[in-house]
Amino acid sequence: MTAKQNPCADVPDGLTTTAAAAEFVENVRFRDIPAEAMRIGTRCLVDGLGLFVAGSEEHAVRLLIEEAQETGGRPDALLLGRRETKVPAAAAARVLGTAGHVHDWDDSQVSIDPAHVYGLLTHPTIPPLASALVMAQKLGDVQGQRLMVAFLTGFEVECKISEWMLPQHYLRGMHSSGTVGTFGAYAAAAKLLGLRGENLRSGFGIAASFAAGIRCNFGTMTKPLHVGRSSENGVTAALLAREGFTADKGALDGQWGYLAVAGRGAEPELVAGRFGRPLTIVSPGVSIKPYPCGVLTHPSMDAMLKVMTEHALAPDDIEKVTLFAGSNILNPIRYPIAKTELEGKFCMAFLLAAIVVAGRAGKREFTDAFVLSEPVQAMQRRIGTEYDPAIEAMGWDRIRSRLEVWTKDGRHIAEWADENYRGGPHNPMSDAEVEAKLRDCAAGILDDQRVGKVIEAVWGLDALDDATALLDLLDWGAPGR
């Protein structure tokens, strides 16, 4: 029986995932990080900070803000949306992580394993970024270089664990951004705390018992809370480990380890020497999303935009739209007709309707009012999906789909989605486009001058003496300022 078949397979002695992860966290230094990783990591920070701002307006996040303020506690870190209010680090991370994922606009890990479903790994930036920002505030006097190292450390640990887990983890209903995101948040916090040796490995064990999130909650407030909890739990695991709280020191591995219990096993041969060699953020890379919904839907949305633009179509021209795709796209898209913006993120009829009706799908379109508007509801009923076994047979290593559009004047238009989808490492958004996304996220919350200062500070992060200046620039005040 191969390791892939055996969910309880042990990693060979000396090559345990837990030990390798701890060794990487303990030893990685700023000088070890290549310039390309710094460049892409900075783009991810620009993206992530914008998402924190955008998320501060959302009802789910406001509920968490109010709960954290009412609970109170040790003033470790600023509470998103409450100027000069500080709360315990774990609570601040829970709010920040949820805000970063609430729009489902955060970046996606790219896999190198054809056994994985492309796009269904993890959203790697928000858990370690939320954790690092909160821990930097708690510790104080954290330079920009140190913050970036902690963030990239967490990013790498999260991605490598996600890559090694068999795809059954996600396919059986676990939400990897909530599960493996916990390890990314933990690694970032542990790096800033300087954890070493047994304490560091115990922290992985604590994080393993915290890591959770199930896909039945997609389309509800609890889906982004998975990422909030992964951020919170990673911080908590690190703080407990610092105090000597014990856990199994090889908790990712073996018969009862996390990879076997939650992931149905892993690939032991992939562990040896792989952390940081290369950094996942560089190869195979990361996708920064142009749309606030699952990356599996993006090529189809761009195909719809291409049809509308190249054929000069108006919404009233559309008679019927059918999307043909495989199960990798159709299974996660669970709502046939969306009634809320949260459902809309998992509803192909809405996502394509937004493109048809508005010509775009950004923060303004992902609101309950837009989803429930008469034109959008009517358009959703003209849009359907159909499983295509021929597309399924092409495999899940890329995102493949085909649109067929019928117009009221009798035209039939077919358009394949581009496998090199916009935002992916084969067709990345430009730096200017990533900055424009931050501006869209911040619209109505931060003025243009402040947004410009945020962008300038992030690109110069490695020269910042105090990384928490980023939070001051974001103006962590009440939404609407």
CATH number for 142: 1.10.4100.10
Instruction: Give me the number of domains the chain comprises.
Output: 2
- What would the pLDDT profile of 410-439 be if each residue is shown by its tens digit? 999 999 998 788 898 889 999 999 999 999
Pair (283, 378) in one structural domain: no
Residues in the chain: 481
Per-residue confidence band for 155, with pLDDT thresholds at 50, 70 and 90: very high
Per-residue confidence band for 272, with pLDDT thresholds at 50, 70 and 90: low
Residue 462 confidence (pLDDT) above 80: yes
Does residue 465 belong to any structural domain of this protein?
no
Per-residue confidence band for 114, with pLDDT thresholds at 50, 70 and 90: low
Does residue 459 belong to any structural domain of this protein?
no
Q: How far is CA 67 from CA 21, 276, 421, in A?
A: 34, 38, 39
What is the arithmetic mean of pLDDT over 133-143? 95
Per-residue confidence band for 270, with pLDDT thresholds at 50, 70 and 90: low
Residue 467 confidence (pLDDT) above 50: yes
Pair (48, 158) in one structural domain: yes
Residue 365 belongs to domain with CATH number: 3.30.1330.120
pLDDT > 90: percent of the chain: 76
Q: Is 322 helix (H, G, I), strand (E, B) or coil?
A: strand
What is the arithmetic mean of pLDDT over 398-405? 93
Does residue 422 belong to any structural domain of this protein?
no
Average pLDDT, the chain: 91
What is the arithmetic mean of pLDDT over 106-118? 77
- The CB density around residue 412, as the number of other CB atoms within 10 Å, is 10
Which residue, 400, 416, 432, sits at the end of a domain? Answer: 416
Per-residue confidence band for 271, with pLDDT thresholds at 50, 70 and 90: low
Beta-bridge mates of residue 384 = 322
Residue 306 confidence (pLDDT) above 90: yes
Q: What does DSSP assign to residue 347?
A: -
Does residue 439 belong to any structural domain of this protein?
no
Pair (225, 268) in one structural domain: yes
438, two tokens: 């931050």
Residue 164 confidence (pLDDT) above 70: yes
Residue 11 confidence (pLDDT) above 60: no
Confidence at residue 119, expressed as pLDDT on a 0 to 100 scale: 58
Residue 10 confidence (pLDDT) above 90: no
Confidence at residue 478, expressed as pLDDT on a 0 to 100 scale: 47
Residue 291 confidence (pLDDT) above 50: yes
Work out whether strand 77-79 and strand 318-325 pair parallel, antiparallel, or are unpaired.
unpaired
Which residue reads 């084969």 in tokens? 426
Confidence at residue 7, expressed as pLDDT on a 0 to 100 scale: 32
Pair (161, 308) in one structural domain: no
Does residue 227 belong to any structural domain of this protein?
yes
Pair (252, 396) in one structural domain: no
> Which is higher by pLDDT, 300 or 15?
300
Which residue, 237, 267, 287, sits at the end of a domain? Answer: 287
Report how far residue 313's alpha carbon sits from residue 305's, in angstroms, rounded to the nearest whole number: 10
Report how far residue 334's alpha carbon sits from residue 118's, in angstroms, rounded to the nearest whole number: 18
Does residue 427 belong to any structural domain of this protein?
no
Per-residue confidence band for 396, with pLDDT thresholds at 50, 70 and 90: confident
- Domain containing 353 equals 295-416
Residue 49 confidence (pLDDT) above 70: yes
Whole-model pTM over 0.85: yes
Confidence at residue 12, expressed as pLDDT on a 0 to 100 scale: 45
Report how far residue 354's alpha carbon sits from residue 362's, in angstroms, rounded to the nearest whole number: 9
Per-residue confidence band for 30, with pLDDT thresholds at 50, 70 and 90: very high
Pair (322, 391) in one structural domain: yes
Per-residue confidence band for 317, with pLDDT thresholds at 50, 70 and 90: very high
Pair (195, 161) in one structural domain: yes
Pair (70, 133) in one structural domain: yes
Report how far residue 228's alpha carbon sits from residue 37's, in angstroms, rounded to the nearest whole number: 25
What is the arithmetic mean of pLDDT over 220-237? 97
8, two tokens: 């309880």
181, two tokens: 């995101």
Work out whether strand 77-79 and strand 82-87 pair parallel, antiparallel, or are unpaired.
antiparallel
Does residue 359 belong to any structural domain of this protein?
yes
Pair (226, 308) in one structural domain: no
Residue 169 confidence (pLDDT) above 90: no
Per-residue confidence band for 165, with pLDDT thresholds at 50, 70 and 90: confident
Which residue, 257, 287, 317, sits at the end of a domain? Answer: 287
Confidence at residue 269, expressed as pLDDT on a 0 to 100 scale: 63
Pair (132, 224) in one structural domain: yes
Confidence at residue 48, expressed as pLDDT on a 0 to 100 scale: 97
Q: How far is CA 147 from CA 69, 77, 464, in A?
A: 26, 15, 10
What is the arithmetic mean of pLDDT over 391-403? 89
Confidence at residue 14, expressed as pLDDT on a 0 to 100 scale: 52
Per-residue confidence band for 219, with pLDDT thresholds at 50, 70 and 90: confident
Pair (180, 310) in one structural domain: no
Confidence at residue 171, expressed as pLDDT on a 0 to 100 scale: 79
Pair (110, 243) in one structural domain: yes
Gyration radius from the chain CA atoms = 22
> Which is higher by pLDDT, 446 or 471?
446
233, two tokens: 């739990």
Does residue 27 belong to any structural domain of this protein?
yes
